[in-house]
Chains A and B, each alone.
Chain A
Amino acid sequence: MKILKYIIFLSIFCGIFFCRWRISFKTAITFSAIAAGLIPVNSELLGNNNQFYQERLLSDQEFNLFEDSDQRVIFAKNSGEAEAFPVTPINKSGQNRNGLFGTGNEKGNPDDDPSNSNTPFSDFKENRAESKNYEHQIYRKMSDKDANSETDDESECSIDEVKTVVANDGTFIHAEKSQVRDKGLHISDFLDAETLDGKFDVIEAEKLKYLDRLKYLRDENNLPDEIVITARDKILDFMTADDTKLVPGYLGYSKIEGTVFINLRLNKVGFRDNNGYRFRTAMTMGDDKILKLAKTDFHLFPDAGKPKN
């Protein structure tokens, strides 16, 4: 295995010089060695005791297409020279990105979460799911053990965070698991009671106030990943169904531009924004609600985010 790594190292190293990149000899060696897996990435630098997370910018990535059941699924793959190796820690000072999104802490213990101490809901205020500038964090997760491992499986990616499918019009829908989780109240619109039985207590979630509910939904003990993934599949089934219509529309008072997905057979409506083609929400709507949507130029929740007087 080591020999193979040295061969990869030499190939990358030679490649750098054949391409005449303007980088120093030392940088080229380091770059090649990391790429070949000869140098483990130092997780201490990344500010987390047991694991680190690497942000992935899907819009700059190269996509691999392959078939997954009925859906065309694409997963992002790191390819950018600049982005591929400098690992961006999510625990930058002054940022609380990992907190209540439930991804910064494997056990999801809010007590260990810095964003829960003085400003418990700072994430919500600055990065609420429906905000115009809303950004979900998408992470590649590796454990220390994995990073130092001698095996080829050392980069265990959490590639299931984003599922990308192709809509009827050929455009992408990037559905983040965390977004589906946040929209947990709509999960029962897509999964039957039998599937949810004993795994996710929707009624318990419904009893809670919005912020408590978000916290509840972001805890894997309350809403298991398995349910979120199944719900996401069902949502994407609806969004990519042959008879689902894609209509240009808006979300919220600030008129976030996007596409409204309407299926009259299923009585389902969804929204994907134009800023990264990200899935935002999906739910059951009766004909009366879809009718109203059509009458208002497909503007979902037009009063949401309206400045308060």
Chain B
Amino acid sequence: MKITFDIDRYNELLEKEKRLSQENNSLIFENKDEFIELLSYGARVKDQISYERNQDYYSLISQYIDKVVTAPIFQSEFLKMEKEDAKAAKIITDDFKQLARFSVDLKAVEFSSLIEGISEVCMVACEFGPEEGISDQKFRKSIEKTFLQIQNFLNEE
């Protein structure tokens, strides 16, 4: 099952945001649902890009689980990969021709929701540290839990 994009609708939302921006306004304030809809295009593209390199993510997580890499290195590497995917997604959403040809596997959305959990704890760990953020133990437990889910998910494929 694949998702394709309604380019006309995307263009309409972009134009709306651009027009509102010129009036010092935004869809954020005018119509939050449409703002979310606008962002969902980029988010879905990123889901697919991340899914296509699921083995890279899996490998990195395995290395952390097996204590091959330390928590700080894992966190920074994981967030770096996500940033790369977001950057690649931006290039596609900025180009209507590419976006029109792009399709997203429903599995990609599922995979993305799994790695989103890891991303969140990585961000908290980087930003706050163990006292206010997340302890090393809790961090490891959280990654281990998600790792099992990812393993199951990839085995089902």
Q: Residues of A at under 8 Å CB distance from B?
A: 124-125, 128, 130-131, 168, 185, 206-211, 213-214, 242-243, 245, 247, 252, 262, 264, 267, 281, 284-292, 294-295, 301, 303-305, 308
Contacts and interface: CB of A to CB of B under 8 A. Distances in A.
Nearest to A260: B28
Given A130-B128, A131-B132, A304-B133, A287 B72 contact: no
Given A210-B133, A288-B112, A267 B124 contact: no
A284 B83 contact: yes
Given A208-B72, A247-B28, A295-B36, A288 B128 contact: no
Contacts of B26: 245
Given A130-B132, A301-B124, 4 more contacts: A128-B129, A214-B129, A267-B90, A288-B116
A265 B29 CA distance: 17
Interface residues of B, number: 47
Interface string B126-142: 11111111110000000
A130 B127 contact: yes
A125 B131 CA distance: 8
Given A245-B26, A290-B39, A209 B72 contact: yes
B24 interface: yes
Contacts of A305: 128, 132
A208 B35 CA distance: 38
B42 A288 contact: yes
Contacts of A245: 26, 28
A267 B86 contact: yes
B46 A210 contact: no
Contacts of A130: 127-128, 132
Interface of B: 17, 21, 24, 26, 28-29, 32, 35-36, 39-43, 46-47, 70-73, 75-76, 82-83, 85-87, 89-90, 93, 112, 116, 119-120, 123-135
Contacts of B87: 286
B124 A304 contact: yes
Q: Which of B17, B28, B119 has the most CB of A within 10 A?
A: B28
A287 B128 contact: no
B67 to A, nearest CB: 15
A128 B131 CA distance: 9
A287 B39 contact: yes
B128 A304 contact: yes
Interface of chain B, helix or strand or loop or mixed? helix
A295 B116 CA distance: 14
A287 B123 contact: no
Nearest to A295: B36
B39 A207 contact: no
17 contacts: A128-B131, A131-B132, A168-B24, A206-B76, A207-B70, A207-B72, A210-B72, A211-B129, A281-B127, A286-B43, A286-B82, A287-B86, A288-B39, A288-B116, A301-B124, A304-B124, A304-B132
B43 A291 contact: yes
A213 B126 CA distance: 10
A194 B28 CA distance: 35
Shortest Cβ-Cβ A-B pairs, 6 listed: A286-B86, A287-B42, A210-B129, A288-B43, A206-B76, A291-B39
Nearest to A297: B32
A262 B35 CA distance: 12
A287 B43 contact: yes
B89 A286 contact: yes
Contacts of B85: 286
Nearest to A211: B129
Contacts of B72: 206-210, 213
Given A124-B131, A304-B133, A305-B132, A291 B40 contact: yes
Contacts of B120: 303
B125 A210 contact: yes
Contacts of A208: 72
A252 B119 CA distance: 16
